[in-house]
Amino acid sequence: MSRVVVLGPASQALGIRVARKLGVETVDTEFKQFPDGEVYARVAVNDEAALAGQEAIVVQSCGAGRGPGGSQNARLVQLVMIVNALARMDAASVRVVVPYLAYGRQDKVFRPGECIFAHQVVTMIERAGATAFYTVDVHAETVLEALSIPAWNVSSMPALAEYLNTKTLHAPVVVSPDKGAVKRSHVFADYLGEDVPVEAFYKARDVVTGEIEMTGELAVADRDVVVADDIISTGGTMSSAIEISKQSGARRVFAVCTHPLLIQNAVARLYSAGAEEVIGTDSIDSEFSVVSLAGVIADALTNDDAQ
């Protein structure tokens, strides 16, 4: 039985990097949008039996971000179409890698009358024919509990820390932008080095307006700060964290995230707030995606093989 990586439209470069790490062939996809807005995607094979009996690994992030055109909704529909096509064509297994899980932040009921859509999204992927599911630094791991197939939340932290460690940090301290990210920040600090401390803000977001308020005192004077978050979207959270770090006497402040959605004027906000550098992964294609997830994803796929 052979194995292939199927290149989702949103993650072609990452898919190729993963395939190279695994030493396997890639299969392209074809995609377009019909004039009425409907999405179309297919696995680019000429023969219905081309992938029968093969292990397929699909890589497709689902962020709108700055990557090649397409909303997160279009990305999701493309993914479901590709997964279902592979299952229908009798692939032996369809392992699905979704580095950025769209709707991952809609993981609970914040206001009456809401749907927990993060759970619906992963259920849809499973129903399409996925036999295993992988995501990276998902906003809330509880979403994986909605699945009945094996599911993994891969950590980007070893890869991000390796990059940060090339910066010769001075007395580094990791700043967690909210209480929910403290656990993750401690893991990240451990990857950065021995005895790297973690400081945290209190962050409250108004569920109606989306406005955030951050408070807290930080012991960061004369230290290099790494603010680590799962997502930078509008840059509101990160720019507040940078500003407060700077006001608290930080030297350089590195704005680090797994998923650099960087919508609207996020980049300007981050640099205006005083960021030394904005660092993200190739979960989303952007000029700030300087760290590849290929290694940690390939490792997760390989470890899963061993189980």
Give the interface with ligand R5P as residue ranges (CB under 6 A).
Answer: 105, 139, 177-178, 229-238
Torsion sign across C-alpha atoms 112, 116, 120, 121 = positive
* Catalytic hit among 21, 32, 203, 246: 203
Please, what is the minimum distance in Å from the beta carbon of residue 53 to ligand R5P? 41
Location of structure tokens 């891969």: 154
Would you call 32 a catalytic residue per the annotation? no
Nearest to 39 by CA among 100, 85, 81: 81
The bridge status of strand 202-205 relative to strand 212-215 is antiparallel
Cβ(59)–Cβ(7) under 8 Å?
A: yes
Name which of 151 and 242 has its Cβ closer to ligand R5P: 242
3-class DSSP state for residue 105? Answer: coil
- What tokens does 204 get? 């409250």
Report the relative pairing of strands 39-43 and 151-154 from DSSP bridges. Answer: unpaired
The answer to whether 18 touches 59, Cβ cutoff 8 Å, is: yes
Do you know the residue count of the chain? 307
129 vs 280 by CB, closer to ligand R5P:
280
Are the C-beta atoms of residues 27 and 44 closer than 8 Å to each other? yes
3-state SS of 197-249 is CEEECEEEECCCCCCEEEECCCCCCCCCEEEEEEEECCCHHHHHHHHHHHHCC
The type of residue at 96 is V
Half-sphere exposure of 208 (CA within 13 A, CB side): 1
Give the pair of three-digit tokens for residue 111: 């206001």
Would you state the torsion angle of the CA atoms of residues 45, 46, 50, 52, taken in this order, to the nearest 10 degrees? 80
The residues carrying an active-site annotation are 203
